[in-house]
Amino acid sequence: MTVRLYDTRAQALRDFAPRDPSNVTVYVCGPTVQSGPHIGHVRAAVGFDILRRWLEYRHGRVTFVRNVTDIDDKILANATDAEPWWALAYRIELEFTRAYAAVGVLAPTYEPRATASVPQMIELIETLIERGHAYAAPDGSGDVYFDVRSWPEYGSLTRQSLDAMEAAADADPRGKRDPRDFALWKGAKPDEPSDAAWSAPWGFGRPGWHIECSAMSRRYLGGEFDIHGGGLDLRFPHHENELAQSTAAGDAFARYWIHNGLVTVGDQKMSKSLGNFLLADDVLRERDPRVVRYALGAAHYRSSLDLTSQSFDEAEAALARIQAFLQRAARLLPDASAPREVDLPAAFASAMDDDLAVPQALAVLHETVRAGNTALDAGDRDAVAHAVAAVSGMLAVLGLDAAGEARGDDAETIALDALVRTMIDQRAEARATKDWATADRIRDAIAAAGIVLEDGPEGTHWSVNRG
């Protein structure tokens, strides 16, 4: 019953012991909304959605916070006269929301925007200055920096020596005591929009990226919470800086650090700067959302995932096998889809408890499907009902029952069903009159179209051959 998670800071598997076992608290770094989501963003969201669902299964309640960074250098750079920075940020935020919802990612408990927590960021910066861990630039620019040499634990998350680190490139270095000091506040610049600046004791400006998450996690989860999550590429400098400034301000901060692996293309990280990304909208336009979710979630969340067309093809075939079993079972047991209390298979639960070992959990799912098909062949109604309940429970934990509805009720499918049904009726009529030539011709035409017919005591049923 104990969940074990790989804690990036400890660099080891740890038994998960939340502060409050009845309410697990999780903060995940959400998108910086400068441009639309690529499939790597969606993979990260799916990974943490599976984590959340499993923690809910084990603990009952999860307070899940995922922020939106809606003020940033890149957002300002991508804005135009026709679309101000705040309008661009909102439009892109909606694109992320649609992509997440399409693949069944649960909505966060809270989804704060950075611009709504600026007073809390100013308060946190003031605390750091009072404690001697931050300073305003002496040149009057309005910039404020974190003094990395004032905090001996700086580098503890990524286990780096301060002197081996590169200079922080997030602000002009002219006002820094050390090139590695990072910006907490950026003074307003003449070429930036006037509405992208807030009043602060150091002058008009806007928060640095790192202070945003520290302030928002504190505001919504308190000074100590259970899990901080994000992509592996955020460990440094973002998460390292968050940890330093929050603990320097007196907060215990995150008890566990969880990082998901990246989506790669030819062994390179997928990123917008490299131009090697797959836009989420393009993938979701071509593939069923359940297929996309399966493909993104099937690998272990900490592993790199090299996505190809074959990845989606294999996911589609796997889901088709599951769906075929559930359809067969529904014909034998019309009430099989009704809610039924059942414990998840022990092997499935064991896999999920072991740092979310989804590949092993999926193996249990497919073995249960195979056993269910065997029970169907034997007419064992109790075994079929048990398998259906187990499969449904596992699908729910993995979120595969919540991704965008499989395209079974769209206009194309309805039209196809009508045509195939007509041909099935014509074939049945030909067989009834012993017109075997016509019956065979109809059967061959259906098969040539990639349609599989299954004759049974309750009639003939059809499905698309996805093999």
- Distance, in Å, from the CA atom of 368 to the CA atom of 16, rounded to the nearest integer, reads 28
CA distances 439 to 140, 241, 460, Å, are 88, 72, 14
423: in domain: yes
**Domain of 350: which CATH number?**
1.20.120.640
Whether the predicted pLDDT of 411 surpasses 80: no
Q: Per residue in 213-249, pLDDT tens?
A: 999 999 999 999 999 999 999 999 999 999 999 999 9
269 — pLDDT class (breaks 50, 70, 90): low
Q: Per residue in 162-210, pLDDT tens?
A: 988 989 988 778 889 999 999 999 999 999 999 999 999 999 999 999 9
> Three-state secondary structure along 338-361?
CCCCCCCCHHHHHHHHECCCHHHH
Whether the predicted pLDDT of 68 surpasses 60: yes
* pLDDT mean over 42-53: 97
- Domain closes at, from 373, 398, 423: 398
Confidence (pLDDT) at 405:
47
437 — pLDDT class (breaks 50, 70, 90): confident
Sequence-separated (6 or more) residues with CB below 8 Å from residue 68: 30, 31, 33, 89, 93, 96, 111, 112, 113, 114
Q: Are 246 and 257 in contact (CB under 8 A)?
A: no
Does an H or E element contain 401, and which?
Answer: none
Q: Are 465 and 331 in contact (CB under 8 A)?
A: no
296: in domain: no
Q: Per residue in 385-403, pLDDT tens?
A: 999 999 999 999 999 986 6
**Which residue from 183, 78, 179, 171 is spatially nearest to 128, judged by alpha carbons?**
183
Please, what's the largest Cα pairwise distance for the chain?
97
Same-domain status, 394 and 433: no
Please state which of the ranges 79-83, 92-96, 165-169 shows the lowest mean pLDDT: 165-169
- Distance, in Å, from the CA atom of 104 to the CA atom of 280, rounded to the nearest integer, reads 14
433: in domain: yes
Same-domain status, 376 and 240: no
Q: Are 210 and 173 in contact (CB under 8 A)?
A: no
Does an H or E element contain 265, and which?
Answer: strand 263-265
The strand pair at 24-28 and 182-187 is best described as: unpaired
- Distance, in Å, from the CA atom of 168 to the CA atom of 180, rounded to the nearest integer, reads 5
Q: How far apart are the first and last CA of the chain?
A: 38
Same-domain status, 155 and 36: yes
Same-domain status, 137 and 252: yes
**Which residue from 181, 199, 69 is spatially nearest to 142, judged by alpha carbons?**
199
Can you give the pTM of this predicted structure? 0.85
Same-domain status, 393 and 360: yes
Same-domain status, 163 and 98: yes
Q: Which residue has the tokens 């997030």?
A: 170
Same-domain status, 372 and 450: no
- Domain closes at, from 345, 373, 398: 398
Find the domain containing 168 and state its range: 4-260
**Residue 137, SS3 per DSSP:** coil
**Each residue of 452-461: b (16+ CB within 10 Å) or e?**
ebeeeeeeee
Does an H or E element contain 130, and which?
Answer: helix 118-130
- Domain closes at, from 344, 368, 398: 398
Q: pLDDT > 70: what percent of the chain?
A: 89
Number of domains in the chain: 3
Same-domain status, 72 and 162: yes
Q: Per residue in 360-385, pLDDT tens?
A: 999 999 999 999 999 999 999 999 99
Confidence (pLDDT) at 466:
53
